[in-house]
Chain A
Amino acid sequence: MLDAIAFYTLAALILAFAIAVITARNPVHSVVFLVINFLAVAIVYIVLGAEFLAMIQVLVYAGGIVVLYLFVVMLVNLKRGPEAHQDPRRQTGAGVGLAVAVLAELTAILAYTGRNPLPAVVPAASARGPGGNTEQLGWLLYTTYLIPFEVASMLLLVAMIGAIVLARKVD
């Protein structure tokens, strides 16, 4: 029941913020809405019990990709850019605080898993065991789903090269 309420609320939020991303006039606002969208998706993952995915979502999407977006927005120097905000110092404080909190979380997670050693042999189809689904995911990625995993690495290479190809100057 609680799950359902959580899911539908989050789903509504996700959709709302997705629409906000494409309708916002200020590009930086778009990016911020995108971040919130990604965080909401991460919470959905937690509700579903996929903690690893939630962490990856936050790290990779909300962290890496959004930062890249912001960089591009700033470099391209679109009108009505980041000059709009008023007080830099207040942002710094909040930024530092958030960063410390994330760091503490990470340390706690690492310490926790460090205390539980990995089992020697994991049977191919295991139920939800200790260590959370990070471990299961890892096993699956390197055994059952190895081929998609490796091909995905080529996909990423293609994306990288493609970005270079598309963005470099015409000589």
Chain B
Amino acid sequence: MTYHLLSIVLFTPLAGALVLLFVPRAQVDAIRWIANAFALAGFVVSLPLWNFDVQAAQWHFVEKAEWIPSIGATYYLGVDGFSILLILLTTLMGFISVLSSWEAITDRVKEYYIVLLVLQTGMLGAFMSLDFLLFFLFWEVMLVPMYFVIGIWGGGRRLYSAIKFFLYTLVGSVVMLLGILALYFYNHTVTGVYTFDVTQFQQLAVPFNIQRWVFLAFFLGFAIKVPMFPFHTWLPDAHTDAPTAGSVILAAVLLKMGTYGFIRFSLPILPEASHYFVPLIVWLSVIGIVYGALVALAQTDWKRLVAYSSVSHMGMVMLGMFALTPVALTGSIVQQLNHGISTGALFLIVGIVYERRHTREISDYGGLSKVMPVFAVVFLIMTLSSIGLPALNGFIGELLILAGVFVVNKLWAAVAASGIVLGAAYMLWLYQRTMFGTVDKPENAKLTDLNLREFATFAPLIALAVWIGIYPAPLLRRLDTSVARVITRVNSVYGPALAKSNCTTPTAPAITRPPAPTPGAPSLDLTGFAACADEAAPKKPGGK
């Protein structure tokens, strides 16, 4: 904590961007090596974040410095388990996307890598900030680099998609700003202090009528990012027209900012409003799951299909989140990470064939497994991960979500399960159309398989998919305190079950143990928040 780890992680990509400013634009190879080196360094320096005190229910690696005292804004960084995992995902996907651009980007290479590194800093900053103004600053900083990535180095109707993404997200964010300001001034009337400190807001008791409007303001900002139906229309265009690395970062990280916002800000600060709007959000999520899946089923463009699968998956994530139970919330977070891994990988996969064939039409492909076997295996693993096959990461997330949601409302769980089925449908059908069958197009016969660099972009993702699928305990353990902190804030309204003050019996029926775990996976340790402290001690944790 004294060696400013978070600031180092945050500013490493920016340092890389600044270094690249001074490299002559003609030296393309040097630029590529430097950019990749800094991206890899960014990932490596973030690895120490994995080791933190899992049991401590506090903010870790905190850094606080004065920024604008006259309005109460501070340079305040801090993380908990949830944001640490997202930061690790960001640095990893950042490196992977930089690596995957090696041959894909040939024009204005210097600007491209500078833009990607600046984008990286923006995303990291948003995950780390515990000061609302600082958070907002980083949130908006992401918009411009992403606009450039899509608008300059994209394809198709890139300018249209880029400006659509930009303005759509911007409108959401500026409305969110008003919500932030409302909280800021309300906090002043209660405490007499002007501050943007998020941890202060999380302890504030905000009256319901204010909560409702602030929730809606935040909702607009975050829901557009997630994206939730009906605010999702920017996503297919942006994803399809962005270059591969852009799509990967967009899907893997940027979409998580929306869900991060809900979990970090909306739920803990506005608990009553969150409860009030649960039906709205659940319905939108459910529609998103089914609608996204059905539209994906109808797609003929490979990349667009994956984009709509994102809508469907994020709908599942939101459903789990707003079931407001610890199990479902844990599943939601895990699924966020999974989505980042699997959908990021799927976009990389599309990128691979696009670089070779320059077409994204599914019908232009077929029988590729004969020509590119390694590629086929990678694609299969990621497809199964996306579908949620047991032994891969998707299963863990979907299982937890369904388990948590089922307890709250069986209908929602049923619809969500149908989404899983549809997911299997479009993904498997995609796989069949592109990889199986005969190689009836002569261009496909000449395709080369994955080279070492391309395989290197997939290797970490495959490893993670398998590891989380088989041994998710370390991951889940790191989420305990974060989930508990959120649920105690949100669910304390329901009943005293999770409140530490009521320690005799667990009274809330909403919390149950999950079904028996699959063989090889240890049972989840839920004692930390299903009961209270004095009950937890005698129970032995199921696994470590």
The reply, when asked whether chain A contacts chain B directly with Cβ atoms under 8 A, is no
Which residue numbers of A lie inside 8 Å of B, CB to CB? none
